[in-house]
Structure 1
Amino acid sequence: MNRLFFRFFVLVMLSITAATFAIYFVFARLFGDPLDDIARRQASAQIFLLEQYVDHAPADEWLARLNKVREVSEAHFDLVPLAQARAALPRAAQAALLRGEVVLDPAHKAFFRRVDLGGERYVGSEDDAIHAWNLPIDLGRALAMEVLRYVIVALALLVPIALWSRSHWQALQSLSRVADEFGAGKLAARARMAPSDAVYPLAERMNAMAGRIQDLLDTQRNLLHSVSHELRTPIARLEFALELLSERAADLARDAAPAGDVAASARAAGAAALLKRVAAMEGDLAELNALVNELLSMSKLDSNEALQRAPFALAPLLRECADGLHPQPARLRCVLDPALDMVEADRRLLARALGNLLRNAQKYAAGEVLLAARRIGPDIEIAVEDDGPGIPEEERERVFDPFYRLDRSRDRATGGFGLGLSIARKAVALHGGSLRVERSALGGARFVVNLPGQAA
């Protein structure tokens, strides 16, 4: 707020300064130099004495009255040759002097005027001029007063503007906080504004947008959760049917075994083929069941009750995740900082995220996987690296998208469903952390988890 108002204040002052110069040049162009008017007002008493007292004297008393004025005035009145007066003035002012006008010289606090045009005051007076100096002309003081006047006007404008800006700034800050909360996953966050607030229409549109997004996400989450649950029933029926079919095929194979004739051999071969087909179908069904479990995990991560924080030791959890890899890579290294100590997080979710990262590294590693963790100030950094083919830079964000697989030519047994990295990033994000991928020193991919604010 202070920075915004300061910038606005500077802008207003610069605008007023520019307007002041513009006014000065326009008025000087149309009506003459305003500084001359100020100087003329300040020297008006001396000009009045000359024009109303000295000039109104009879010809034989003109010099006597000029001497009286010299005695009583602090200004000095000298008679100088007209040529000398013209030489002291700029070319534009010399014509006014020749016409008998009072010509001001504010820089020297003086003015010039011809004695007369026809030599009526005294002999040769048409060739003389009056030089009045030490006049009470102070342009600096006048300019300071003008500046102060404009500053007061600026302040009078800025005070109500400041109050108006403050109310708008507070309203915008409130909208910013709501946007931050909504972006952090609090989908129920809404802006609370009075109808009289200037940003009330914006707040209403923002609330409508947030409500629409919340409805869409809730619908998507409910659909995903419902479909995943509904799929469990037909999966269970298929498992039961396949189990019965497998038992029936086994019975046929046993019945055909002792006979030894051609028909029995054919029945045995058919039973064996059926058993093989049933086994393949059971594999597909197990894969479908695993996909449903992954989808349910995704839907649970989107719920507000997904995170259950509790303090626990991080190092044992990391070792458990590494030991849980099957089959184990040829080389699996764990480099753990002794300062890891206790953390406060959801142990189950964090283990799920790290397990997904390790299984991903195991899947693509040529033979080496590295799990490293260290404390950086209050934060904790966990890295999972492999010596596999790595991930191109342009694909490093897309690998976290659900159902996205980098190598689409891989079969499902190797490539998975494309949900593991997405689940890992969501689990880390629920802890307020981040998950990114970069190039590993081993040659493959390096997934880095950052958990902020984990005090030792």
Structure 2
Amino acid sequence: MQKLFLGIYGSILASTFLVLLCSYYVLSSINQYRYEQHLEMVLEGTASLLHKGISRQEEANQVRWISLASSLLDANLTITESTFSQQHKYSLKRVNNSSAQTSEKYIAHYQAPQSSLRVSIEFDGITEHILSATAFFMLNELGRLPAEQRQAAFDEMRQHFHYSVFRVPQIDLNLDSRQQSRLKNGDTVVAVIRELGRGSAFNVYAPWGKTSDALVLGPIAFFNPYPNYIAALVLGVALLIMAVVVMLIIRKLGQRLTALQASVDAISPAATEIPEQDENQEVISALSSKIQNMAQRIEKLLEEKAYMIRAVSHDLRTPIAKLHFRLEAISEKVGSDDKMVRSCHDDLRQLNLLIDELLTYEKLEATRDIKFKPLDLAHIISNQVDGLKVVNPKLNIKTIPPDLPATGIAGNEVLLCRLFENILHNAERYAKNQIAVEIIQHDDDIEVVVDDDGEGLQENVIPYLFDPFFRADQSRNSAKGGYGLGLAIARQIVLQHHGSIKASNNELGGARFQLRLPLEQANHD
């Protein structure tokens, strides 16, 4: 439960942190993009004026003019020749700043139509120097023209500005006495204004030559980034969406658990009463209760099955013993060599063998606590091989290596003897001339491989070969077969020893059984 809680809680915390981090990154990226767009719009008009000023300069005067313009702008101004001259081109980009002490730097590139000259301005941001210089450059360009051409030139210049540029009488300006005094003295005034509902902005005022008018630039809005609480708002929305999604998942899970409850109830026998569930009980608690109830019913059924097998097996032994006794009496009258009597004795022995197999298999299934002790596995296998050679001396049985070395293992001697007895007798039952037994010792376990040269196994029966009462009639001669419990008992013994067993076909064309038994066991005497 603690692991489940930590997993769910950790996932929620990780998801929340990831959403918050992504929200902050997205918000920062949007603000950066908006800021660059703001700089680009504010500076385009200034860049167009600089291009005009530099373009009309003689090559000898360009360096001096650029130096003066850079001082007025408090920015680095450069010019380059460009082959691109077909249309107007203006762009702005951020540049890497090697100094962590200063703010980010930007470069604005401007190139007028039909011109091969490109002007580049490197600056830190929009400052009063840039705004004042913009007004100066505009008035300077207008002052060079005859009076009758100034209005048209003024209208053409304003097209490159993304904020208001106009001429107004100084008397109509809303300036304080200090600002009015500076304006009358020919100075440029940069004032910060606050517009209701729109934040702060710059207004630039410059005297229009010797007239009583003034050039006004603005309002030029300050850049207002989206506030950080938007990231918190995004986080809240994301958490709400996550809550809805989790609720839908839990609802779907609840429906599936309810369906699983119905499946569990369907397993219940009709005679078994299922406790009534409280309507307010949680689905998982209810399901847990039903599964516990089902486990108790299954355990009871298994106990009843085991009791029934033992009872039937023991009850069968009495009439079988009576039949043996009566056959002995009959054989005294008809002779012990009578064919029918011998057949009856054989059938009774087979029936006793079947009962013994059933009891053995049921006991192995029910036993959970088997005692182990150190054993020599090679010695156990050698004894079983020697016994098989006595039973069938014509069969060629070889061991690999020929003299099996001592192989220590922890196990139950009685069960291991029964295991290899069943495997070897199964191979002997179907072998034509040869059986091979190989022992391979690995670092953690011992592998035993038993091959025969019989007819082999069909692939479709191999998965069912170790099931109780299964007989591979189509791939092995059923006339030689037993009752289908020998290999099932072998598998149970291997599982009791925490090992594995599998069947396949070998190079001889017959069956191969591979057993792996671990060297260490959990329970020792």
Q: TM-score, normalised by structure 2?
A: 0.53
- The alignment partner of 2:465 has SS state of helix
What is residue 345 of structure 1 aligned with on the other side?
411
Aligned residue type for 2:326: A
Aligned residue type for 1:302: E
Whole-angstrom CA distance in 1 between matches of 2:473 and 2:348: 23
Deviation readout 1:28-68 (Å, 9 max, x if unpaired): 9xxx99968xx9xxxxxxxxxxxxxxxxxxxxxxxxxxxxx
What is residue 312 of structure 1 aligned with on the other side?
375
What is residue 185 of structure 1 aligned with on the other side?
none
Whole-angstrom CA distance in 1 between matches of 2:7 and 2:165: 55
Residue 224 of structure 1 deviates from its aligned partner by 1.2
Counterparts in 2 of 1:332 and 1:290: CA distance versus 1, 3 Å? same
Deviation readout 1:57-86 (Å, 9 max, x if unpaired): xxxxxxxxxxxxxxxxx8545152486676
Is the contact made by 2:455 and 2:475 (CA closer than 8 Å) also made in structure 1?
no
Choose which of 327, 347, 363 in structure 1 pairs with 2:392: 327
1:291 equivalent to 2:376? Answer no
After the TM superposition, which residues 373-388 of structure 1 pair with which residues of structure 2 at under 5 Å, given as runs? 373-388=439-454
Residue 377 of structure 1 deviates from its aligned partner by 1.0
1:281 equivalent to 2:344? Answer yes
Counterparts in 2 of 1:381 and 1:7: CA distance versus 1, 3 Å? farther
Counterparts in 2 of 1:9 and 1:85: CA distance versus 1, 3 Å? farther
- The alignment partner of 2:295 has SS state of helix
Whole-angstrom CA distance in 2 between matches of 1:4 and 1:21: 26
Deviation readout 1:77-116 (Å, 9 max, x if unpaired): 51524866763x6xxxx37778x9x999xxxxx9665759
1:247 equivalent to 2:332? Answer yes
Choose which of 362, 365, 370 in structure 1 pairs with 2:431: 365
What is residue 62 of structure 1 aligned with on the other side?
none
Counterparts in 2 of 1:317 and 1:229: CA distance versus 1, 3 Å? same
Aligned residue pairs, count: 338
Counterparts in 2 of 1:411 and 1:21: CA distance versus 1, 3 Å? closer
Aligned residue type for 2:496: L
1:423 equivalent to 2:489? Answer yes
What is residue 238 of structure 1 aligned with on the other side?
323
Counterparts in 2 of 1:5 and 1:375: CA distance versus 1, 3 Å? farther
Counterparts in 2 of 1:244 and 1:130: CA distance versus 1, 3 Å? same
What is residue 366 of structure 2 aligned with on the other side?
303
Whole-angstrom CA distance in 2 between matches of 1:380 and 1:409: 29
Is the contact made by 2:19 and 2:238 (CA closer than 8 Å) also made in structure 1?
no
- The alignment partner of 1:374 has SS state of strand
Residue 424 of structure 1 deviates from its aligned partner by 0.2
Structure having the larger proportion of residues in helix: 1
Stretch of structure 1 that moved more, 212-221 or 279-288: 212-221
Deviation readout 1:200-248 (Å, 9 max, x if unpaired): 4443233223222222222222211211111111111111111111112
Counterparts in 2 of 1:199 and 1:299: CA distance versus 1, 3 Å? same
Counterparts in 2 of 1:285 and 1:392: CA distance versus 1, 3 Å? same
- The alignment partner of 1:312 has SS state of strand
Which stretches in structure 2 are left out of the alignment for 5+ residues? 39-126, 139-153, 169-191, 195-199, 243-279
Whole-angstrom CA distance in 2 between matches of 1:349 and 1:393: 29
1:125 equivalent to 2:214? Answer yes
After the TM superposition, which residues 18-97 of structure 1 pair with which residues of structure 2 at under 5 Å, given as runs? 75-76=128-129, 77-78=131-132, 80=135, 81=138, 87=160, 94=162
Aligned residue type for 1:403: F
Structure having the larger proportion of residues in strand: 2
Residue 21 of structure 1 deviates from its aligned partner by 8.7
Whole-angstrom CA distance in 1 between matches of 2:477 and 2:322: 26
Q: TM-score, normalised by structure 1?
A: 0.60
Counterparts in 2 of 1:132 and 1:384: CA distance versus 1, 3 Å? same
Choose which of 205, 214, 218 in structure 1 pairs with 2:303: 218
After the TM superposition, which residues 369-448 of structure 1 pair with which residues of structure 2 at under 5 Å, given as runs? 369-407=435-473, 414-448=480-514
